[in-house]
Amino acid sequence: MIRKLTEKGIEYIQLHLCTILPGTELFEYVKDNLTFSKFHSDFGDSIRNEKIDKLISKYPEIFPQYFNFETNLRKRLLFLDRFITYYYSLLYKYLPSTYEILMNKYHNDLLELFFDFRRTIPYFATKMFYREKEYFSEISNEKFVLTILEDIVCFINKCCTLEKSSLIKEICKFEMDIFRFTYIKI
């Protein structure tokens, strides 16, 4: 579904964990098992700091969207939302040939690509939570996009080590050169 949306021209896809909202049936079901989490699937990618976190953590009944409940599936898919929102969307947009080769390598299995990416570049998701500016609109900032694309290059260099992987590395390098030439002002 995500790949089909991308191929239909939907430029930015946001994926969120199931978010707990006050007064919902889900909230009533999990309210006694909520734990405060620094990592959340926030609708607005809001700015948070220690003072705000302290206030939020005192009132789970008001701010349950900043809390988590553990399930095996939620653990397994931790940071998939960030991967899709930032990495996948930008990979498709700015490195289209690299994207096609990667998807072919993973037999169009986006989850397997995600699992390998998370295993290979473990810091990627926490990076999303500790940016200076926490607004989703930052995605249009060329320098921010460049840091995301550089993580993708790092992933390709680490995970594509076979001799036949030199093609994807060369194509990725070429597309990165185009991105830098087009968007990065020196």
Q: Specify the pLDDT at position 70.
A: 82
78, 39 in Cβ contact below 8 A?
yes
pTM for the structure as a whole: 0.79
Q: Specify the pLDDT at position 133.
A: 45
112, 76 in Cβ contact below 8 A?
no
CA distance 11 to 103: 18
With cut-offs at 50, 70 and 90, classify the pLDDT of residue 135: very low
| Whether the predicted pLDDT of 103 surpasses 90 | yes
Each residue's pLDDT tens digit, 32-56: 998 887 666 655 555 667 888 899 8
Q: Specify the pLDDT at position 164.
A: 64
| Whether the predicted pLDDT of 166 surpasses 80 | yes
| Whether the predicted pLDDT of 162 surpasses 90 | no
41, 31 in Cβ contact below 8 A?
no
Query: Which of 91, 93, 142, 137 minimizes the C-alpha distance to 114?
Result: 91
| Whether the predicted pLDDT of 100 surpasses 60 | yes
Residue 104 buriedness (CB in 10 A; 0-12 / 13-18 / 19+) = exposed
* Pairs from 9-15 (Cβ < 8 Å, separation ≥ 24): 11/89, 11/93, 12/85, 12/89, 12/139, 13/84, 13/85, 13/88, 13/89, 14/81, 14/84, 14/85, 14/136, 15/80, 15/81, 15/84, 15/85
- CA 137 to chain centroid, in Å, comes to 15
